[in-house]
Amino acid sequence: MAPRLRLAAPLLLVSVALLLTVVASDDDDGGGDYAHCEGVVKGWAGSVADEEEDNDGGDTLSLRDLLFFLHIPRTGGRTYFHCFLKKLYTNAEECPRSYDKLRFDPSHPDCKLVVSHDDYSFMSKLPSERTSVVTILRNPVDRVFSTYEFSVEVAARFLVHPNLTSAKLMTSRLLTKSRAVSTLDIWPWKYLVPWMREDLFARRDARRIAKVRSSHRINAYDVEDMVMPLHQYIDDPVAHEIIHNGATFQITGLTNNSYFNGAHEVRHCVRKHPDLGRFVLEVAKSRLDRMLYVGLTEDHEESARLFAHMVGAQVLFQSGAANLDIKEDQPIGNDSHSSTLDPEDEETNEHLNSTRGLQNNRALSADTTKDDHPKGNMTVGKLMEAYEGCISKLRKSQSNRRKVSLKMVEEANFSKEARRQVPEAILEQIISLNNLDMELYEHAKKIFTQEHLMLNAQHSMPDTKGWIETVCSSWSCSPWKVTLLGLGVTISIVLIALALTTRRRTFKLKV
């Protein structure tokens, strides 16, 4: 048998080597795979650009028939939904089940508003040439923190159950019975919460067995014996799949939840070859540029004011229910709620099956104008007033809910102060994992500044009302034509003034 063995050994070696090459080349970073991925990503970017060119209705600043609020998780979008959109649109105008992908039916005839965590690929289900898109962006580091906190908060609610089996069972019974949409039905929470929940129960079981609790506690984001620490959370494959660069992927329609079949390949290629991210980023930026409105979570007061004027005013104007009130609103004053950690809490408010999302939360809707005619005598000024009242109530109830939810994991005492104790290295890791979102956020800030300037130009026009009436009696008017015209006139005045002063000054100054 010896000669045979001697022959077989090299053969075996060769085949093992061959196998290894095949395996290696499969996830090899160089050569073939990169070229393939580059083709995939560029091909996608090209087809998106073509599509949008065909589809470009030109005027992106006018509100179209349908408003799609692309709600990036943890950006405070719920506040806008409850405190603005609910006041501007009747329940009948809100597309049913906006937050529920499975049962969503956009063919609803009169529906004018869609609010969803679905990514941009959802536009393929909508009449895209008649749809305006709005969104809100947030500093990516804060968004990751907030995602972590919310995952823990929602998962911790289940700890009232004796074990995981019982928690799952009770939840599914409850949901079947009430037919409510829960946070657990909605992307990305349908992945993030069960993952965290399983982890919380496992840690609790481990504590019970060990019977000792380590007093080792660095900060609220690192209480290992109670909750999956932040550093572990952000490095998990689930976080890589769903959280990091989430805003960019959502705006480009490339999330794990996409309606576009090719999304997964493009996303995986970008994750594997980070420099291909630039193509995705370009698409994301140009999408933002075309949106009717882009808000910033951080600049919540100014975002609200812009939203009221850019979106609210047009909704009211189109509904014909109001005379356009473009007077400067009362100053909003200081944000007395800035001490609360997050502007957002519940993602769904546990919608009942009817579209009346606030039905089981009457306290919140107490200050809304009558549900069936939210527009009534609404003006932009009144809208802002109502928003202020609404937001403070909403936040109070959210922070109470958070307190109750986190009772079972007291050590995970999240706060702005606690965030400051998180090691710099972890923050840097988050920044690097979210490099696309960081850059997109910078771009959003630029857009925001432009929006702000436009609005101020509109307000700075003397005798606004009379001037608008004059213009509007001769042309068909939209608030945006007015704004742009106002901006044009203002810029002309500034330029002329500038030209005059510089000319005068050149005699005295060296420029």
Q: Which residues bind ligand NAG (CB under 6 A)?
A: 162-163, 165-166, 179, 191, 238, 241-242, 256, 264, 333-334, 353-354, 376-377, 410, 413, 415, 417
Residue 92 or 489: the one with the smaller Cβ distance to ligand NAG is 92
Residue 399 or 490: the one with the smaller Cβ distance to ligand NAG is 399
Q: What minimum distance in Å lies between the beta carbon of 504 and ligand NAG?
A: 37
The dihedral formed by the CA atoms of 464, 466, 467 and 468, expressed in degrees to the nearest 10? 80
| Residue 136 three-state SS | strand
Residue 134 or 422: the one with the smaller Cβ distance to ligand NAG is 422
Residue 316 corresponds to which amino acid?
Answer: L
Residue 51 or 410: the one with the smaller Cβ distance to ligand NAG is 410
Residue 82 corresponds to which amino acid?
Answer: H
Percentages helix, strand, coil for the chain (3-state, rounded to 5) are 60, 5, 35
Q: What minimum distance in Å lies between the beta carbon of 283 and ligand NAG?
A: 20
| Residue 467 three-state SS | helix
Distance of CA 20 to the CA centre of its chain: 43
Q: What minimum distance in Å lies between the beta carbon of 70 and ligand NAG?
A: 19
Partners of 318 in the β-ladder = none
CA distance 367 to 378: 13
Q: What minimum distance in Å lies between the beta carbon of 243 and ligand NAG?
A: 10
Alpha helices in 406-478 (DSSP H): 416-420, 424-433, 435-460, 464-474
Residue 241 or 329: the one with the smaller Cβ distance to ligand NAG is 241
Q: What's the sign of the alpha-carbon dihedral 148, 153, 159, 161?
A: negative
C-alpha dist (Å) from residue 203 to 192, 396, 400, 401, 418: 17, 31, 25, 23, 22
CA distance 479 to 335: 28
Q: What minimum distance in Å lies between the beta carbon of 87 and ligand NAG?
A: 12
Q: What minimum distance in Å lies between the beta carbon of 208 and ligand NAG?
A: 12
Residue 354 corresponds to which amino acid?
Answer: S
Q: What minimum distance in Å lies between the beta carbon of 188 and ligand NAG?
A: 8
Residue 278 or 407: the one with the smaller Cβ distance to ligand NAG is 407
Token pair of 270 as six digits? 């970008």
Residue 263 or 447: the one with the smaller Cβ distance to ligand NAG is 263
C-alpha dist (Å) from residue 103 to 65, 99, 106: 22, 9, 10
Residue 330 or 354: the one with the smaller Cβ distance to ligand NAG is 354
Residue 132 or 434: the one with the smaller Cβ distance to ligand NAG is 434
Q: What minimum distance in Å lies between the beta carbon of 103 and ligand NAG?
A: 8
Residue 36 or 240: the one with the smaller Cβ distance to ligand NAG is 240
Q: Tokens 């579209």 sit at which residue?
A: 355
Q: What minimum distance in Å lies between the beta carbon of 406 and ligand NAG?
A: 9
184 contacts: CB under 8 Å, gap ≥ 6? 171, 175, 190, 193, 194
Cα-based angle 132, 345, 430 (whole degrees, multiple of 5): 85
End-to-end CA gap in the chain:
95
Residue 179 or 446: the one with the smaller Cβ distance to ligand NAG is 179
| Residue 134 three-state SS | strand
Token pair of 303 as six digits? 């975002």
Alpha helices in 56-139 (DSSP H): 77-80, 86-88
Q: What minimum distance in Å lies between the beta carbon of 277 and ligand NAG?
A: 19
